[in-house]
Every structure is written in C-alpha cells, then in structure tokens.
Amino acid sequence: MHAFAVHPDDPTIHDLEIPTPRPEGRKVLLKVTRAGVCHTDTHLRAGGYDLGSRGLMSMKDRGIEYPMVLGHEVVGIVEQVGEDVESVRPGDARLIYPWIGCGECRHCREGNDNRCAAGRNLGVACHGGYAEYILVPDEKYLVDIDGIDPSWAATLACSGLTAYSAVDKILPLEPDEPVVLFGAGGLGLTAVALLRARGHRNICAVDVAEGNLSLARDMGASSTVLSGPGSGAKDIRRAAGGPASAVVDFVNNGVTATSAFEILTKAGHMVQVGLFGGEVTIPTALLALRMIHIEGSFVGTLSQLQDLVRIARSGKLPDIPVVERALSASEVSRALDDLTAGGVAGRIVLTA
C-alpha cells in the first residue's frame, strides 16, 4: 500500500510502498477515506516539542520508530476483519479512536487509554491515516458515524474530542461566568460550540487572526479579543466582563499561559491543552493564595468520543468549517506547511 511518511530529521513527506497489514483476532483493517490534519502532526514532523529552557523533547529519543506515518483523525471503510471480530463487517464506515493504550495498566483497565504511559497511539507510535489503509488493534476503537458528514466526523477524533474533554474539566459553571478560550482554530471553535450546546453564555475567544474570531462569533462566542502588540490581560478581562472563572488554552505557549494565570479569578480553573511549547513562571504564593487550579488536558477517552458523536448526531453541535484536499504526499506536505504558517480557518481534511 501507499503511505505518506516522515523520516527522522527530515520534514519531507515521502510516498512509500509498505506491506498492507492483515488483521488477526480482534484487529480490523480499514481503507482510509478521510484523514484530518492536526497541529500535532506539525510537531511530529518537526521531530518533537519545545520545552522552553529544557530544550526539545525529541520523538526519536523517546523511541518513536521511523518512518512515521502521521494522521490520527481517521474515517475509513472496513476492508478486512480478524477472526474474532463481531461488531463490524466489510463495508461499514467507522471513525477510529486513535489514543490507544497498552491495554494492561490501571488507566487502560479503567477506560482511560489516553493516560497510558506506554501508549500505542495511531499516527504517533503506530502507523496512522496518511495512507491507503490503517490497521486498528481492536474493534472496540471503532465508532459508528451514521448520519454525520465523514469529513467533519474525522475531526471529532482529535480536535473535537480534545475540546470536549477540556470543556468537561471546567463545567459545570453558572452560564454567565466568564470563560476565556485562547486560540480560535479548529479546537477553539469546537469548544465554543460545545459550551453553547451545554448552555454556557459568557464565552470570550482570543486569537491573533480576525478571521478566526469572526468564525468564533458565528459559532456563539459572546466576545472576542484580537491578540497582539498593545493588547493584554486587561483587554481580555474587560471583554469577558471580569476575571475568568475558567480558561482553556488551546495555544499553551509562554505568552498565553502567562495571560491565562493573570486573568483568572480566585479559585479559577486553568486548563492547558495546546502544544506550541515554551514555559511559564508563576508566583508560588499567588498559586496558593488565589487557590488556582492548573490542569493539563490531553485528548480524551473512548467513552467521551462516543458521547461526542452522539451529540453531533443529535444536531446540537454546529459543524466547524472544513477544507477538503486530496490525500497525497504533496497535499499532506502543503497542509502541514499551511498549519505551521498559521491562518487556516477551521480544519483541513484529506480525502481519498
């Protein structure tokens, strides 16, 4: 099969021919029809994550095997199934939950694969969806998306799930308590829609691009702030109507994390999601005196994805803007370049 992969220390997307996997036991082989393009893929192509003064967290040094086939937001058609598979059959369209754990640790046994320290995430530790076919290690990770546009459904596996999990961490709140979202790309827009769907009214979106903020207002943001030189915490507090009860930071670099801490009210909740990198210095006394709750959030659970798909199927979650492109080496490369440069409104989904 064709697979579009990166080599270590090489940002080029290579079109490789590799053996097509054969499913055994509870494994399922799917023909890829949609593959969303995520900011995480840009970091993986770059080789790691910026840890500020600690340098670069190298994927190669962490044991990630190359060539790496990226792509973790995947919808496919079941092609072949292992002999023990019961819930799907060839021809079924399914969304794939990619955040797969070892299956043996406490977190995995409790259904929290995304917390597993020995994760086998598709598109990271195992070949992902930038390919003709993808092998899923267990049928339980396949989610029925009947009635949902497949391109939009693909984005639910990461941007949708990540936003859902983050919003889950800050609710319940009173509907008019200020919630601030840093970043109004695919993740932030989904978070706006989810907050509105769950009855929250005071949602302030902060972004560096006016186009993204316009989309955020369309999705239901009650206020927006264009971030840049001359703007700061005072502007965000003013737009939100006061200090924030909660902040969800979909950027999570040194600037946004610092601002998030500054705008929180007493006992406020700060959820850090993005992987843009850097570091932040926080006065430890203020952390205690203001009783600030800081929490990291990484994607979500299989159960949360199933809940999210049910919400999407009910019509309570507005579609985010999706740009479709062909699934090819050149388009994978162009999509990652566009995301790295910034300014992509909504999400890019590659179609086969």
Quickly count: other Cβ atoms within 10 Å of residue 175's Cβ: 12
Separation between Cα atoms, residue 134 and residue 155, nearest integer Å = 17
Nearest to 5, CA basis, from 325, 348, 332 = 332
Do strands 322-326 and 347-351 pair parallel, antiparallel, or not at all (unpaired)? parallel
Cβ 210 vs Cβ 186: under 8 Å: no
Residue 171 gets which letter from DSSP?
Answer: -
| Model pLDDT, residue 279 | 92
Which H helix or E strand runs over 7? strand 2-7
- What residues have CB less than 8 Å from 288, skipping those under 6 apart? none
Q: How many helices (H) and strands (E) does the chain have?
A: 11, 18
Question: Which residues of 59-215 form beta strands (DSSP E)?
Answer: 68-69, 73-81, 93-96, 133-136, 142-144, 179-182, 203-207
| Model pLDDT, residue 62 | 75
Give the side-chain half-sphere CA count within 13 A for 223. Answer: 19
Question: Alpha helices, DSSP H only, in 121-268?
Answer: 150-155, 161-170, 186-197, 210-219, 233-240, 254-263
Cβ 183 vs Cβ 215: under 8 Å: no
- pLDDT tens series, the chain, 352 aa: 999 999 988 889 999 999 999 999 999 999 999 999 998 899 889 888 788 888 888 877 777 788 999 999 999 999 999 999 999 999 999 999 999 999 999 999 999 999 999 999 999 999 999 999 999 999 999 999 999 999 999 999 999 999 999 999 999 999 999 999 999 988 899 899 999 999 999 999 999 999 999 999 999 999 999 998 888 899 999 999 999 999 999 999 999 999 999 999 999 999 999 988 889 999 999 999 999 999 999 999 999 999 999 999 998 887 778 999 999 999 999 999 999 888 787 899 999 9
Separation between Cα atoms, residue 337 and residue 339, nearest integer Å = 5
Read off φ and ψ for residue 77, nearest 5 degrees.
Answer: -105, 130
**What's the residue count for the chain?**
352
Give the side-chain half-sphere CA count within 13 A for 228. Answer: 7
| Model pLDDT, residue 320 | 79
Q: Could you tell me the CA-to-CA distances from 217 to 16, 87, 160, 197 in Å, in that order?
A: 42, 41, 18, 14
Cβ 275 vs Cβ 49: under 8 Å: yes
